[in-house]
Amino acid sequence: MTSKFGDYQNEIYFNALRGVLPEFPMAFAELADRAQAALPPGLWSYVAGGAGDEFTQRANVSAFEQWALVPRMLVGAAQRDLTVELFGLTLPSPLFLAPVGVLGLCAQDGHGDLATARAAARTAVPMIASTLSVDPMEQVAAELGDTPGFFQLYTPTDRELAASLVRRAEAAGFKGIVVTLDTWVTGWRPRDLRTGNFPQLRGNCLANYTSDPVFQARLKESPEQDPSAAVLEWASVFAAPLTWADLSWLRSLTTLPLILKGILHPDDVRRAKDAGADAVYCSNHGGRQANGGLPALTALPGVVAAADGLPVLFDSGVRSGADVIKALALGATAVGVGRPYAYGLAVGGTDGVTHVLRSLLAEADLIMAVDGYPALADLRREGLVRLPGGV
């Protein structure tokens, strides 16, 4: 499939001839500034912040600077193929929307999960929908159109509730279950502590729970009658500290692909594969959960080697199309973007997310054109070198 993602720049230039300049920022730094101005301070801190002094969050970003793409000339890369095969799906690009648990709050209308799903539908970029959502998963899935969606699960301590969430995701049409492993307890987040802001404890982003019959059965009164009790009940069941022994049970819940998110060690990759995982997701939660750890990109080559053909999803620190290309060159099957699209959502709703995704894809496509890589296989074979002094 020939990529035309780079045509977005032609659209921008020709619009400028008519006096129409881009409504949304073209650079990440300006996008972040605009998002900060659009969001309440506590919510901005929650979305932009990380764990501890945010060393790991910064390291995720700077890790990309340790790698450089190697141009190859005279290969005739006038046509590029960015398609990827994942779980029997043919996707037009390797980009996906990583799960963000406060999307609903980031949109000016308070329904950011739906706005993001609409942007996914427009761009054919798959969305991983978070358990923590303002709107129920069924409504999010309905907005995706023909674009695949995946459901991210924070596995509750109540196994019956976990099974119910997975069954609902299957019925809604999601194409896989992404189990987050590193967030059964909240990491130390000074920005959030300073503002006292924990959105879910304020009753936000809990629609998948309050709409669930198993969760409702745990309450003496309906969430509408006693919202405080619903919040306390959510806090008591939110997430279990999973062990390897739990994976057979998780695998038994669904025939959908099971993707384990938060794996960075090669030994864990091999154990996940042996336990029946259909993919591993190399991520450190964007630096939000544990400070002081290695950048996810640094772990990626070892994860890919240990996966030995198993799909490897990746996120953490992606800020540009160049970052997407570098992660692909290191072996990622698909690459997730998080904060940039959340900022686009804050600035412009569905249009803002669409702009961010089209910009990332355009830059990635044009880099492959200029550097002489007609296909992702060419890029992975010889497209990247580590710079001297890299960590």
158 assigned binding-site residue: no
293 assigned binding-site residue: no
189 assigned binding-site residue: yes
152 assigned binding-site residue: yes
390 assigned binding-site residue: no
339 assigned binding-site residue: yes
CA angle centred on 257, ends 89 and 139, rounded to 5°: 80
180 assigned binding-site residue: yes
Kindly state the helix (H) or strand (E) to which residue 96 belongs, with its residue range. strand 95-97
**What is the CB-side half-sphere exposure of residue 237 using CA atoms within 13 A?**
21
Answer for the pair 199, 43: CB distance below 8 angstroms, yes or no: yes
58 assigned binding-site residue: no
Judged on CB neighbours under 10 Å (0-12, 13-18, 19+), 256 is middle
Q: Are strands 384-386 and 67-69 parallel, antiparallel or unpaired?
A: antiparallel
100 assigned binding-site residue: yes
Q: Tell me, what DSSP letter sits at residue 133?
A: B
318 assigned binding-site residue: yes
Judged on CB neighbours under 10 Å (0-12, 13-18, 19+), 17 is exposed
Of 292, 359, 285, the residue nearest 324 (C-alpha): 359
373 assigned binding-site residue: no
Q: Which residue carries 């910064």 as its tokens?
A: 58
**What is the widest separation between alpha-carbon atoms in the chain?**
70
130 assigned binding-site residue: yes
Distance CA(190)–CA(193), nearest Å, equals 5
Q: Tell me, what DSSP letter sits at residue 182?
A: S
Q: Which residues of 266-282 are buried (b: 16+ CB within 10 A; e: fewer)?
A: bebbebbbebebbbbbb
Distance CA(180)–CA(292), nearest Å, equals 20
Distance CA(182)–CA(289), nearest Å, equals 7
285 assigned binding-site residue: yes
168 assigned binding-site residue: no
Which of 111, 265, 285, 355 is flagged as catalytic? 285
Is 111 annotated as catalytic? Answer: no
**For residue 150, which phi and psi values (nearest 5 degrees)?**
-125, 150
Q: Amino acid identity, residue 247?
A: L
Distance CA(318)–CA(111), nearest Å, equals 24
Answer for the pair 188, 51: CB distance below 8 angstroms, yes or no: yes
Catalytic residues: 285
Binding residue numbers for glyoxylate: 46, 154, 189, 285, 288
Binding residue numbers for FMN: 99-101, 130, 152, 180, 261, 283, 315-319, 338-339
